[in-house]
Amino acid sequence: MGKTIIEKIMANHSGKEDIKPGEIIDIKIDTRVARDFGGANVVKNLENNSLSIDDPQKTFFTFDTNPGGSDQKYAANQQYCRMFARRNNIKVYDINMGIGTHQAIDNGLVWPGSTFVSTDSHSNIMGSVGAFGQGLGDKDMAAVWAYGSIWYKVPHSVKLNFKGKCPPNVTAKDIVLNLLSRFGASTLLGKAVEFSGDAVEALTLDERITIASMGTEMGAISLLFTPNYLILKTLKKRSGKEYETIQADEDAVYSKEYDIDVATFEPMIARPGHPHDDITIDKLERTKIDSAFIGSCTNGRMEDLRVTGAILKDRKVAPGVVLKIVPSTDAIWQQAMNEGLIKTFKEAGALVSNAGCAGCAAGQVGQNGPGEVTVSTGNRNFAGKQGKGEVYLASPAIVAASAVAGYITTPDNMPEKPMTFESQQVEQKTTGEIKENVTANDRPTVVDGKSWFINVDDIDTDMIFHNRYLHITDMNEMGQYALDNLEGWEDFAKKAGSGDIIITGKNFGAGSSRQQAVDCFKALGISCILAESYGAIYERNAINAAMPVLTYQPETLKEIEYEAGDRLKIDFKKGTIKNLKNNKSAAVNPFYDVQMDIYQRGGLLK
C-alpha cells in the first residue's frame, strides 16, 4: 500500500517500513527550536531534570515574539536563554533576525521530507516546503532537545483536489479564508491535509507559506504541499542547498478526498473572534477601522510587501488610522529597503517596525486597545489575542486599501478622499481578585469531583490563558488566570476547587502551543478535563504534563442524564463515567498506553 506525504516522512524518521494512521511511533527530529517566551521554560525543564542536549547542531533558539526586548520579563527570559546557549554551543537567531519558522525555511534548517518542531504553534508552516512541522509545549520540547526524538500518533491524511483557476483578485490569504469558511476549525481536526491540482502548482513559496501557516486555525496537523521544480529552485537560491522533492505515492490511501472549485473563491474577511467566521468583503464594506496591521508569519513575506507598496504608492494612510507594517525577517526588511518599499511605507504614514511576530504574540507592535477596530493580515483574531479591540483578518491588499480608505474595502474600490470618523469613548474594565492554589501530587486512575460544564466549542488557548501572562514561568502562579479571557467564565479560578472536573465541547485548546494553558488547570488542582475533541498541540501538552484529558461522545451526557454541577466519577483505565447523583454510567475513551505511562510517571520528563 502506498504512503501519503506525512506517512513517508514519519516512516523515514521512525525506522519503520510500514506505519498506519493512529499508530504511535517515535520519530527523530531534524531541527529543534525554542522561541523566547517558551525557551526559558524549556531550559528550566532541562535543568530541573538534569538533562543534556542531544545534538547542539540541530538545536536552536529564535527570539521573534518580542524582538525589541521591550518587556522586562521577555528580556530576562531572552538573556537566560542566551546564557544557556553559550554554555551548550547552541545557535541563537536573536532579536534582529525575525520570525523563527521563516528563518528555518530561508536558511535551510528545514527541507522537503524533514522534521521540525518548535515552541511556535505555527510550525506546521513547514508544510509549505513538504516538511513535517509541529508546535510543541515546553515539556515536549525539552524531551526533544534531550533525546532527539519524540512519540507521535500518525495522523489520518486528507486530500484537497483544487479544480479550476483562481480569479485574479483572489490572493493566497483569500484561498485559506475560503477554506476556513468551508471546513471551519474542526472538520480537519488532527488531519494531515495534502493539496493537489493546477492551481496549487502555480502557487509561489510565499503563497504556500501563507496558506500553510493557517493550518493551525483549521485544526489540522499540517497543510502539506508537494514541492515542484520552482519551489526547489527558490529554496536553493535562498539556502544554497540542493533538495529533492517528496510526494505521495499514486496508490496512497486518504481518509477522505474533497474536490474544491477555486474558480468560485472570492476575496474574504474573517470577522472578529474566529478565523473561520468568514464572509465576502462586500458584506462589510465601509466598516470603520481605527488601525491596520500587515505582517506576521502568514503575510510578512516579500510578495506581501510588494502588493502593499503598490497600493500605498503616492497615497496616504487615512487620518486617524494607524498602519503598522512588520516584515517577517530582517533579510526581507533589507530587501524592502533596497527596493524602495520602506520609503513608500513611511511616506504613506505607516509605522514600520523591525522584523518579528509583532502583535500576534503580544510583541513590540500590533496590539489594539478597547473599542479599537483593526484589520489585520495575521492568522488569529481570537478575543484578546491582539489586544482588547476587535480584529478582522484579510489579505495584505485589502488591509492596505482599507488603511487608505479608513474603512474596510478592496483595492479596486478605494475612494478619492478617505472617510474620517469621530472619536469614541471606551469603558475601561478592571481585573478581579487573585486566588492562589497548589497542584496535587498523587496519580489516581479514578477521580470523582464536582463538574463544570463549559458548553462552548473551539475554546482557544488565549481564552484559557491569555498571552499577556506568557512571561510567567512558576506554575503555582498560573491558576489564578485560568479561563479569565473566556466570556462568562472570567471568575472560574475563584470558584473552582481542587479535584473538580471540566466538561466541554469540540476542539478544546485550539491555537497556541503554550504549556501554560494546561498548567493553569494543574495549578488549580483540576482532576480531569473531558472534551469531545482537543486541539492537537493542546492534547499533547496535557498528556506530557500528566494532566488527565479524555474524550467523549455527545450522547454520553444524555446516557448519564448529566446536568451542570453534577458530581462525577471517571475511570481513566476502564473509560467509564458515572453520575454520582443517579448512579448512571456510560463509556468514555480511556487513556491509551503511552498516555497512562506518562501519567503514572508524573510527566514526560520524569
Q: What's the domain count of the chain?
A: 3
Look at residue 373 and tell me if it is in a domain.
yes
Helices (H), 151-291: 172-183, 198-201, 205-212, 229-239
CATH number (domain holding residue 276): 3.30.499.10
- Where among 240, 264, 288 does a domain terminate? 264
Average pLDDT over residues 215-228: 94
407 and 460 inside one domain: no
pLDDT of 55 over the 90 cut: yes
589 and 576 inside one domain: yes
* Residue range 264-308, pLDDT digits in tens: 999 999 999 888 888 998 888 789 999 999 999 899 999 999 999
Residues with Cβ within 8 Å of residue 220, at least 6 apart in sequence:
124, 188, 189, 190, 191, 192, 193
CA atoms within 13 A on the CB side of 120: 36
Look at residue 426 and tell me if it is in a domain.
no
CATH number (domain holding residue 540): 3.20.19.10
pLDDT of 432 over the 60 cut: no
What's this model's pTM, rounded to 2 decimal places? Answer: 0.86
Secondary structure of 365-424 in HEC code, one letter for each residue: CCCECCCCEEEECCCCCCCCCCECCEEEECCHHHHHHHHHHCECCCHHHCCCCCCCCCCC
- Where among 359, 394, 413 does a domain terminate? 413
Question: What pLDDT shows up at residue 366?
Answer: 67
Q: What is the mean pLDDT of the chain?
A: 92
Which one-letter DSSP state was computed for residue 155?
A: P
Q: What is the CA radius of gyration of the chain?
A: 23
285 backbone φψ class: left, alpha, beta (φ>0; ψ -120 to 50): beta
pLDDT of 438 over the 50 cut: no
76 and 190 inside one domain: yes
| CB-CB contact of 512 with 462 (8 Å) | yes
Full domain range(s) for residue 357: 268-413
Listed residue (237, 185, 240) closest to 215, CA to CA:
185
C-alpha distances out from residue 400 to 326, 445, 504, 550, Å: 13, 55, 39, 44
C-alpha distances out from residue 208 to 30, 55, 68, 126, 301, Å: 22, 30, 28, 10, 11
| CB-CB contact of 512 with 384 (8 Å) | no
Listed residue (396, 393, 391, 421) closest to 406, CA to CA:
421
* Residue range 66-123, pLDDT digits in tens: 776 666 777 888 999 999 999 999 999 999 999 999 999 999 999 999 999 999 989 9
Question: What pLDDT shows up at residue 106?
Answer: 94
| CB-CB contact of 381 with 462 (8 Å) | no
Look at residue 424 and tell me if it is in a domain.
no
pLDDT of 430 over the 50 cut: no
Average pLDDT over residues 392-396: 96
503 and 385 inside one domain: no
Look at residue 20 and tell me if it is in a domain.
yes
Rounded to whole angstroms, the Cα distance separating 519 from 215 reads: 25
518 and 572 inside one domain: yes
User: Crossing angle, helix 138-147 and helix 536-544, to 10 degrees?
Assistant: 70
Kind of pairing between the strands at 446-454 and 567-571: antiparallel
- Where among 364, 395, 413 does a domain terminate? 413
Question: What pLDDT shows up at residue 472?
Answer: 87
Residue for grid cell 472538520: 187
Look at residue 423 and tell me if it is in a domain.
no
Kind of pairing between the strands at 149-153 and 222-224: unpaired
Rounded to whole angstroms, the Cα distance separating 257 from 272 reads: 30
* Residue range 328-378, pLDDT digits in tens: 999 999 999 999 999 999 999 999 999 988 877 655 676 788 889 999 998
* Residue range 147-156, pLDDT digits in tens: 999 999 999 9
* Residue range 474-499, pLDDT digits in tens: 889 999 999 999 999 999 999 999 99
| CB-CB contact of 390 with 374 (8 Å) | yes
